[in-house]
Amino acid sequence: MPEKKIAIIGGGAAGLMAADMLSRHGEVHIYEKGKALGRKFLVAGNGGFNLTNSAEGEDLCRKYTPMEFLQPALEAFNSQDTRTWLAGLGIPTFVGSSGRVFPEKGIKPITVLQQIKDRLLQNGVQFHFQHEFVGFNAEQKPILKFQESECFPEADHYLFALGGASWPVTGSTGNWLEAFRLSGIKTLAFQSSNCGINVNWPDDFRNKFGGAPLKNLQVSAGNFSLKGEALITDYGLEGNVIYPLVPKIRELLQAGKEAFLTLDFKPQNTVGQLLEKVRGKQIQTKNYEQVFKLSKAQLTLLKAFSSKEDYVFPENFVRQIKQLTIPVSSLRPIEEAISTAGGISLEEVNPDFTLKAFPHISVVGEMLDWDAPTGGFLLQGCFSTAYLAAQAILVKLR
């Protein structure tokens, strides 16, 4: 019986994972529009190459939206499975800060990518570079543009792993969305996620404190709160305490509602504890910095977004320290986002990641409409969806 042939469209993290699983049991071809594999994979390593996160079980699944859709994939191939897979490739890992999982010291992103590529070559995977997906033919098979001509790869099953629209410099533009829409697949416009937020700073504040950190901060959007650090930028705020709040902010902005962040500069202190510092004392505003141990950036921010009455009366000022409201005007553009929400609507996708309308096509990774924070969860989502889809394909083709 001849080997089944699987065509993978997209040579990023999800496509490579699927290829590794599938190439052990069939003939696998990867079609990549660029000149090399994993360009976004390499870019992700520039700021600290966290490959997954040590969170497990419900703690892992809760990081994803919608959790119910992604949970089976995350349980089928969890973060420990990713570490075991990497170890099998000769990439030992360790758990760093905040549960993030990194390659052992001295192992660079290019090395991880090369180890994956070497394994795929050993398994007989064939790579086809500069083959860009441009649409489907009448039989709902992919049309790929190579140089000035079009080609139509024949396969028993097609797996698409085309990514979202973040990091367009790597070629991840999301232009494929239109081709799926024209085939009757419901798609959702890409939107920024894990990105900075725009705040209308006063000019003097922007000029003086752009680039200053806000440490030991608790930030809330709606009923969701998080502790961490933010960075003041000329456009607003970014950082590990901001990115996870973006989905809630996006939801409010899309609904036409005003979006606010609530900042607590002293999450380790209660209002009562802070009031004790001023009760029965004559405290002047010029002493706030010393009395409350505030940075100049924090103090100036409090003054800029407080009424005069709330700033000059110490009792009122204490409440501002614990609950300063800052309006958010918008999110940063997709070009600056770490990841994107949107893509193929999950209504169109079966639990095994095949399309309901076209069961010979699987779709995985960031091209699906799911969201997750940074910290290794984005890559894990790509690995998990690709793994489950690959296992389902193998069962189907046997």
Residue ranges of the chain with per-residue pLDDT less than 70: 1, 44-47
Query: Residue 137, class by beta-carbon neighbours within 10 Å (0-12 exposed, 13-18 middle, 19+ buried)?
Result: exposed
pLDDT of the residue at 45: 58
Residue type, 57: G
Same domain, 160 and 297: no
| Single residue among 331, 349, 365 that ends a domain in this structure | 331
Same domain, 189 and 203: no
pLDDT of the residue at 321: 98
Alpha carbon 223 to its chain centroid, in Å, reads 21
Same domain, 312 and 361: no
Tell me the residue range of the domain where 302 lies. Answer: 197-331
Same domain, 142 and 256: no
**201 closest CA partner among 235, 230, 229:** 235
- Residue-wise DSSP of 316-342: HHHHHHH-EEEEE-EEPPGGG-SEEEE
pLDDT of the residue at 90: 96
Residue in the structure block whose two tokens are 């705040």: 199
Same domain, 390 and 289: no
Q: How many structural domains comprise the chain? A: 2
Find out whether 61 and 71 touch, Cβ atoms under 8 Å.
Answer: yes
d(CA 19, CA 128): 13
Tokens of 387: 């793994």
| Single residue among 279, 307, 331 that ends a domain in this structure | 331
Same domain, 221 and 181: no
Same domain, 271 and 293: yes
- With a CB cutoff of 8 Å and minimum separation 6, the contacts of 85 are 17, 20, 383
The CATH number for 73's domain is 3.50.50.60
Same domain, 269 and 357: no
* pTM for the whole structure: 0.92
